[in-house]
Amino acid sequence: MKHDVEVRIRKLRDEINRHRYLYHVLDKQEISDAALDSLKHELDRLEQQYPDLITPDSPTQRVGGRPLDQFNKVRHGAPMLSLNDVFSREEVTEWHERITKLVPSGHGLDFYGEIKMDGLAITLHYTKGMFIQGATRGDGKVGEDVTQNLKTIEAIPLHLETRESKPAIKAMVTKALAGSVEIRGEVYMSKKVFDALNRDQEKKGEQDFANPRNAAAGSVRQLDPAVTVKRRLSFLAYDVVTDLGQRTHEEAHNLLAALGFKSGDHNEHLAGVEDIEKYHEHIGTVRKEFPYWTDGIVITVNDIPTFRRLGVVGKAPRGAIAYKYPAEQATTVVEDIQVQIGRTGALTPVAHLKPVRVAGSTVSRATLHNLDEIERLDVRIGDTVVVQKAGEIIPDIVSVLPKLRTGKEKKFHMPHVCPVCGSTVVRREGEVAHYCSNPSCYAVQQEGMRHFVSKAGFDIDGLGEKILVQLARADLIKNPADLFSLTEADLEPLERFAEKSAQNLVASITASKKISLARFLYALGIRHVGEETANDLATHFGSLQKIRRADLNTLNAIPNIGAIVAESIFSFFQEKKNTGMIDELLSRGVRILVPEKARKTALSGKKVVVTGTLTTMSREEAKAKVREAGGDWVSSVSRETDFVVVGDNPGLKFDKAKKLGVRTIDERELINLMAGK
């Protein structure tokens, strides 16, 4: 009997580990999360019954650790170095010349290029294949023992395995499994997990993380591993410290892959400066599509003996550089802090900055989110601050440089009355934000209108912010329904409106009257209902009537819709003001397309990925249209993907599609498919 259990336990462990590897190292998925959880559950139950069968590398041991009082210090055998940064071709060329002079003549240099992951450096020790200890870099000589937390990261194998590899690599793997091996790499947080974490922090009224690096570092340096496990971190290996006979950095990477680590999807052998430049350029264009953040590439002298001979200057090896992309941070001065009123009536403090270049564009404003954030940063008008642009995100103030203060800086106070309509400002119990108490505040209306006509909503061409303000000032629109009564005669007397543009605007308003349920719901501007949720609601209910009538329990039972969102939807449809507005929209000719009709296109139920730039529509429009046609918009290519739409300058998704044999189509074919052709 016990023998049978032992066999079952072993098989379960192998199977769970295989799926872990597929998912976290190879980005593939064979069984659902629920099925995998079920296997883990069975294993856990058996281990509870037979605790003597528990091994330290069992998948159940990833989450077993107790909170610590403090981390122990670990002295690194070989120092954990950093890299010197370069930013231009000239600097790469200088580096190349410098090191060429230092290696004995006749040795042509070759290189290895890889992604510089934006996370935190970690070193891992394995003995006889078992993960025994992991530590942070610390000061490079002494780090902290974070083994328990690293065990929660599924991309880190708890024991090393022999994966398929060439004979030369196989010999190294055998050696690694027999003795001790030290592996280094970067713990990081994917963009998706980072965004979800910050949304969650906001919901809980807790602080946002400034960037994925801080989030990853904060998550690894948690005394309670139960917190770390929730942060869903990843790991990318980039070096084998132990000499197992590897002669090149490229071989070290092959060895890492053979031992079961994720070692980079974009690594490349590079012959010289020309190749390095091309690689830097290529990654520079495709990195926006990566599921993680990267601020540069790492170039390493490929030949390991040569790399060693080149030695170390200060804390960085001569034989490797970080070739960075333009800085995403800069310093500037806060000239003023003003409040902006959003669609929900929330007052958002915005810092007006002395314009500064960050990551290729000029930044003159940064959001300060709310009063708590201002207090946390202790930012004052006149302060010098560090601003940051992460990806497409609105710039953020990361920190203040208090040493640069003159004493003339002024503290910000939240206004007591709304700067637009003069009503009182309130802060509700348990909420971080301040709100204008007047539901018909002009600013609130204005923001609501902007949202209503936006691309993902009614998508009305020619209704920019300026025109909306103009129409509101002329008393022509008080709420979205008023748009649908506008006539050319209303518009023509207005400044900037010639006969033609009045005609055009009325035509685009008329054209927008036919709208999908999902876009209609989004346009209403219900709190917490973004595009995704609107889409989920439309698919689930199929008609506006059903949503209007749904009670709180029904809404709560919908997958992906949490209690706060359900409550917000429910109370929106309880308010006469809102239902009255919807009725008015319908009576002025707005027609909601029945989802069933839309679903009968060739895209129905199909998974669609887009890579590169489309010419006739933006990504946002494409996303909305694919969904309207019943398709499923997904961000990464897998075997399950049905179509990869290839635009201009396609990224790596194109290569992956070809590799996996996924059907690729161009923009025109996509449009035809959406139209049901």
Task: For residues 124 and 138, give the distance between their C-alpha atoms in angstroms, rounded to a whole number.
Answer: 14
One residue of 121, 374, 521, 544 binding ligand IVH per CB under 6 A: 121
In the complex, minimum distance from the CB of residue 118 to ligand IVH, in angstroms, rounded to a whole number: 7
- Of residues 81 and 552, the one with the C-beta less far from ligand IVH: 81
- Of residues 172 and 187, the one with the C-beta less far from ligand IVH: 187
Which of helix, strand or coil describes residue 103? Answer: coil
In the complex, minimum distance from the CB of residue 51 to ligand IVH, in angstroms, rounded to a whole number: 38
Q: What ranges in 346-487 are assigned the alpha helix state H?
A: 371-377, 442-453, 465-473, 480-483
Q: Is 117 in the site for ligand IVH (CB under 6 A)?
A: yes
Q: Is 214 in the site for ligand IVH (CB under 6 A)?
A: no
Task: For residues 631 and 634, give the distance between their C-alpha atoms in angstroms, rounded to a whole number.
Answer: 9
Stretch that binds ligand IVH, among 13-21, 27-35, 76-84, 477-485 (CB under 6 A): 76-84
Measuring CA to CA, which residue among 572, 574, 567 is closest to residue 552?
A: 567
**543 φ, ψ (degrees, to nearest 5):** -150, 155
In the complex, minimum distance from the CB of residue 448 to ligand IVH, in angstroms, rounded to a whole number: 44
Which of helix, strand or coil describes residue 555? Answer: helix
In the complex, minimum distance from the CB of residue 3 to ligand IVH, in angstroms, rounded to a whole number: 46
Q: Is 299 in the site for ligand IVH (CB under 6 A)?
A: no
Q: Which amino acid is at 64?
A: G
One residue of 317, 349, 647, 651 binding ligand IVH per CB under 6 A: 317
Can you spell out the DSSP letters for 4-53? Answer: HHHHHHHHHHHHHHHHHHHHHTT---SS-HHHHHHHHHHHHHHHHH-GGG
Q: Is 241 in the site for ligand IVH (CB under 6 A)?
A: no
In the complex, minimum distance from the CB of residue 185 to ligand IVH, in angstroms, rounded to a whole number: 8
Strand partners, 644: 609, 664
Strand partners, 338: 350
Q: Is 83 in the site for ligand IVH (CB under 6 A)?
A: yes
Q: Is 298 in the site for ligand IVH (CB under 6 A)?
A: yes
In the complex, minimum distance from the CB of residue 188 to ligand IVH, in angstroms, rounded to a whole number: 8
Stretch that binds ligand IVH, among 161-169, 170-178, 316-324, 340-348 (CB under 6 A): 316-324
- Of residues 238 and 643, the one with the C-beta less far from ligand IVH: 238
Task: For residues 350 and 354, give the distance between their C-alpha atoms in angstroms, rounded to a whole number.
Answer: 13
One residue of 322, 432, 433, 552 binding ligand IVH per CB under 6 A: 322
Binding letters toward ligand IVH, positions 444-483, x by CB under 6 A: ----------------------------------------
Stretch that binds ligand IVH, among 189-197, 242-250, 317-325, 409-417 (CB under 6 A): 317-325
CB 657 within 8 A of CB 651: no
CB 470 within 8 A of CB 501: no
Can you spell out the DSSP letters for 472-494? Answer: HHTTS-SSHHHHTT--HHHHTTS
Q: Is 539 in the site for ligand IVH (CB under 6 A)?
A: no
Buried b (16+ CB within 10 A) or exposed e, 78-116: eebbebbebeeeeebeebbeebeeebeeeeebbbbbbbb
Task: For residues 183 and 258, give the distance between their C-alpha atoms in angstroms, rounded to a whole number.
Answer: 13
The packing angle between helices 465-473 and 442-453, to 10°, is 130
- Of residues 238 and 522, the one with the C-beta less far from ligand IVH: 238
Please count the residues of this chain forming the interface with ligand IVH, following the rule CB under 6 A: 15
Q: What ranges in 232-303 are assigned the alpha helix state H?
A: 249-258, 273-286
Site for ligand IVH in 86-115 (CB under 6 A): 114-115
The packing angle between helices 563-574 and 576-587, to 10°, is 70
In the complex, minimum distance from the CB of residue 407 to ligand IVH, in angstroms, rounded to a whole number: 37
CB 276 within 8 A of CB 193: no
Q: Is 238 in the site for ligand IVH (CB under 6 A)?
A: yes
Stretch that binds ligand IVH, among 81-89, 146-154, 171-179, 434-442 (CB under 6 A): 81-89
Q: Is 82 in the site for ligand IVH (CB under 6 A)?
A: yes
64: Cα within 13 Å, side-chain hemisphere? 12
In the complex, minimum distance from the CB of residue 184 to ligand IVH, in angstroms, rounded to a whole number: 7
- The long-range contacts involving 407-413, CB below 8 angstroms and separated by at least 24 positions, are 408/382, 409/380, 409/381, 409/382, 409/383, 410/380, 410/381, 410/382, 411/380, 411/381, 412/337, 412/349, 412/374, 412/379, 412/380, 412/381
Q: Is 143 in the site for ligand IVH (CB under 6 A)?
A: no
- Of residues 182 and 621, the one with the C-beta less far from ligand IVH: 182
Respond yes or no: is residue 175 known to be catalytic: no
What single DSSP character describes residue 289? G
One residue of 116, 232, 450, 623 binding ligand IVH per CB under 6 A: 116
One residue of 81, 333, 617, 671 binding ligand IVH per CB under 6 A: 81
Q: Which amino acid is at 655?
A: D
Q: Which residue of the set 2, 28, 101, 116 is catalytic?
A: 116
Q: Is 146 in the site for ligand IVH (CB under 6 A)?
A: no
In the complex, minimum distance from the CB of residue 116 to ligand IVH, in angstroms, rounded to a whole number: 4
- Of residues 16 and 74, the one with the C-beta less far from ligand IVH: 74
Longest dimension (CA), the chain: 90
- Of residues 61 and 214, the one with the C-beta less far from ligand IVH: 214
In the complex, minimum distance from the CB of residue 170 to ligand IVH, in angstroms, rounded to a whole number: 24
Give the CB-nearest residue to ligand IVH: 121
Measuring CA to CA, which residue among 113, 549, 24, 508 is closest to residue 301?
A: 113
Q: Is 320 in the site for ligand IVH (CB under 6 A)?
A: yes
Q: Is 327 in the site for ligand IVH (CB under 6 A)?
A: no
One residue of 186, 396, 536, 628 binding ligand IVH per CB under 6 A: 186
Stretch that binds ligand IVH, among 52-60, 80-88, 532-540, 551-559 (CB under 6 A): 80-88
Residues that bind ligand IVH (CB under 6 A): 81-83, 114-117, 121, 186, 238-239, 298, 317, 320, 322
List, by residue number, the catalytic residues. Answer: 116
